[in-house]
């Protein structure tokens, strides 16, 4: 059974523990700017919303990469960037309709959520349970993917 991150924005307090855990897991520093998950602040609504890669079935980032630097992890299903192969062209950042692939100036490469090999640091660190790692069938991931598949990218490509 594939698992995925489930985000319940109603439980998010904006503490940024998820961002801190992610940056420490991947870079060894507590620096939200280096995190692969971001907490957006919707001030007018009074809401904080954690947001990261949804690991799309269609995987526009993977399909757009000209050097095949993004591959599917067989164990987790995560689309993972191989930094040794990545040339930093940023094509995947343009291809992702959700904006969850980010260029890292320090390395000249891109980064995205890799589900921490099946034990996401963000979910472990979240004190309120706003981020959990659960069976993909339970999260509504299929509904999100179906909506994403309906996104008309052909009109943008020809414009």
Q: What is the pLDDT of residue 105?
A: 93
For residue 76, tell me if it sits in a domain. yes
Between CA 134 and CA 26 the distance in angstroms is 22
Q: Which of residues 70 and 151 earns the better pLDDT score?
A: 70
For residue 148, report the phi and psi dihedrals to the nearest 5 degrees.
-65, -35
Q: Residue 70: give its domain's CATH number.
A: 3.30.70.20
Beta strands in 37-77 (DSSP E): 38-42, 47-51, 70-72
Residue 155 has pLDDT above 80, yes or no: no
Highest mean pLDDT among 46-60, 61-75, 128-142: 61-75
pLDDT in tens, 32-45: 999 999 999 998 88
Number of domains in the chain: 1
For residue 14, tell me if it sits in a domain. yes
For residue 155, tell me if it sits in a domain. no
For residues 101 and 92, is the Cβ–Cβ distance under 8 A? yes
Between CA 135 and CA 159 the distance in angstroms is 39
For residue 157, tell me if it sits in a domain. no
Between CA 54 and CA 45 the distance in angstroms is 23
How crowded is residue 99: how many other Cβ atoms within 10 Å of its Cβ?
11
Residue 141 has pLDDT above 60, yes or no: no
pTM: 0.82
For residue 101, tell me if it sits in a domain. yes
Domain range holding 33? 3-149
For residues 36 and 51, is the Cβ–Cβ distance under 8 A? no
pLDDT in tens, 74-83: 999 999 999 9
For residue 154, tell me if it sits in a domain. no
Residue 146 has pLDDT above 80, yes or no: no
Percent of the chain with pLDDT over 90: 77
**What residues form DSSP beta bridges with 109?**
104
For residue 132, tell me if it sits in a domain. yes
For residue 156, tell me if it sits in a domain. no
């Amino acid at each position: 059974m594939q698992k995925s991150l489930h985000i319940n924005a109603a439980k998010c307090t904006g503490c940024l523990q998820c961002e801190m855990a992610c940056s420490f897991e991947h870079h060894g520093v507590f620096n939200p700017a280096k995190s692969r998950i971001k907490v957006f602040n919707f001030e007018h609504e009074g809401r904080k919303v954690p947001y990261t890669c949804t690991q799309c079935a269609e995987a526009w980032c993977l399909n757009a990469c000209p050097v095949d630097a993004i591959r599917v992890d067989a164990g987790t299903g995560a689309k993972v960037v191989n930094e040794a192969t990545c040339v930093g062209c940023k094509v995947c950042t343009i291809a992702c309709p959700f904006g969850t692939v980010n260029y890292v100036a320090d390395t000249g490469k891109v980064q995205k959520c890799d589900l921490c090999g099946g034990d996401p640091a963000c979910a472990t660190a979240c004190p309120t349970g706003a981020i959990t790692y659960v069976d993909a069938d339970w999260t509504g991931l299929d509904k999100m993917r179906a909506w994403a598949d309906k996104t008309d990218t052909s009109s943008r490509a020809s414009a």
